[in-house]
Structure 1
Amino acid sequence: MAPKEKDTKDKEEKIAKINKWDGSAVKNAIDDAVREVLTKKYNYVENFALMDGRLTICGIAVGVAMFALLWDYLYPFPQSRPVLILCVSTYFILMGILTLYTTYKEKGIFAVCLQKDGSKKETIWEASSFLAKYDDKYNLTLALVDSKTKQRRETSSKKSVAHFIDVNGYVVPEQVESEVSRLHNSLLSERKTK
């Protein structure tokens, strides 16, 4: 096999084919491509603190459920009733907290990246997206949080998923990269003018 053919085959294996009629699969594939542009092209370091918050809440909820299961095993139902009521109530409250966290804290953010600028403080880049259930418009928002002033600036674009997905169901990385670069550069130019 020639080296050029091998590179093409490796590239095809790396880009996964998706069902272009499945909205959540399309959104997730484009989100992954955007994340890859931020981490690979711009060499930003991805920060998982936002995701860790969600995992912590879920971990505590699973721990409460496991404790209820173990307690009920050790002390069968009539004895375990107060503990089960407490555990079920705690689990319900934790799920409410999780819903609030994902709605008001995460806000559709799928990537948080840190740009090292030499000092201890880092510039934060956040990428969030939204794709309505029966809509083809992919909304991408890129936000920049300045390390010195803590000022937040954001820009967004709204394009059809057909702009990013080809007819065969593959993400077109060049299209995603050009759109992310356009948003990225507009935020940087805004930053320099201020």
Structure 2
Amino acid sequence: MAPKEKDDKPIKINKWEGAAVKNALDDAVKEVLTKKFNYVENFALMDGRLVICGIAVGVAMFALVWDYLYPFPQSRPILIFSVTTYFIMMGILTLYTTYKEKGIFAVCIQKDSSKKENVWEASSYLPKYDDKYNLILALIDGKTRQRRETSIKKSVANYIDVNGSVVNELVEAEVTKMHNSLLSERKEK
């Protein structure tokens, strides 16, 4: 017999903490896409954020080393340049997360019978002081590049039991229903 995987345990969270609830539900949705449907997760969207942050940290580290080697009066122009560049990079990061990521927490690739790959995107939001979990599942067709999406808005109580554990079967049923509706919509066209 194989040893039990750690994924077999239900995820237990503080059900009164909105961010923890959203993250746990997001993880459950991502697990359905990657494990049930066997889609390959694509990290390019997150890599963009890492590149922006890496540049900002690199500039800050350069300023730190330069200031150590050439103390303040001499390093003033480099420090001004570094602080300005860091500020600009953080502005770019804010724009990137707001307009490019748009709350997307999973991008998965579905290999099609042709060489074109369908892209599945899952995004969500949970308003502060609200129990309505908003999940948006989008399909970008590999051939036509046409984007179709479906969404749900339900209380987190539909997916979390009284002990604070995510009920994966309920999340899986909901995601599967959304997934199948997008696939059937694709076949009809």
Measured against the shorter chain, the TM-score band is over 0.9
CA deviations over 1:101-128 (Å, ceiling 9, x no partner) = 0000000000000000133320000000
CA deviations over 1:143-178 (Å, ceiling 9, x no partner) = 000011000000000000001111101000001000
| Partner SS for 1:16 | coil
Partner of 2:173: 178
Give the superposition deviation at 1:17: 1.2
Return the alpha-carbon distance in structure 2 between the equivalents of residues 12 and 144 of structure 1. Answer: 27
| Partner SS for 1:125 | strand
Return the alpha-carbon distance in structure 1 between the equivalents of residues 68 and 131 of structure 2. Answer: 50
Return the alpha-carbon distance in structure 2 between the equivalents of residues 97 and 181 of structure 1. Answer: 36
Partner of 2:55: 60
| Partner SS for 1:154 | strand
Q: What TM-score, normalized by structure 2, do the two folds share? A: 0.96
Partner of 1:153: 148
Partner of 1:27: 22
Equivalent residue for 2:87, pick from 59, 83, 92: 92
| Partner SS for 1:43 | coil
Does residue 1:131 correspond to 2:126, yes or no? yes
Give the superposition deviation at 1:11: 6.9
Give the superposition deviation at 1:90: 0.3
Return the alpha-carbon distance in structure 1 between the equivalents of residues 148 and 163 of structure 2. Answer: 36
The residue identity in structure 2 corresponding to 1:91 is Y
Give 4+ residue runs of structure 1 displaced > 3 Å after superposition.
Answer: 10-13
Report sequence identity in percent: 78
The residue identity in structure 2 corresponding to 1:192 is K
Return the alpha-carbon distance in structure 1 between the equivalents of residues 178 and 95 of structure 2. Answer: 29
How well do the aligned residues superpose, as a CA RMSD in angstroms? 1.5
Give the superposition deviation at 1:13: 6.2
Q: What TM-score, normalized by structure 1, do the two folds share? A: 0.93
Q: Between Structure 1 and Structure 2, how many residues are aligned?
A: 188
114-123 vs 24-33, which moves further: 114-123
Return the alpha-carbon distance in structure 2 between the equivalents of residues 132 and 15 of structure 1. Answer: 25
Give the superposition deviation at 1:12: 8.2
Return the alpha-carbon distance in structure 2 between the equivalents of residues 11 and 98 of structure 1. Answer: 34
Partner of 1:141: 136
Partner of 1:37: 32
The residue identity in structure 1 corresponding to 2:165 is Y
Return the alpha-carbon distance in structure 1 between the equivalents of residues 109 and 156 of structure 2. Answer: 27
Does residue 1:72 correspond to 2:33, yes or no? no
| Partner SS for 1:135 | coil
| Partner SS for 1:157 | strand
| Partner SS for 1:126 | strand
Give the superposition deviation at 1:15: 2.3
Return the alpha-carbon distance in structure 2 between the equivalents of residues 188 and 59 of structure 1. Answer: 38
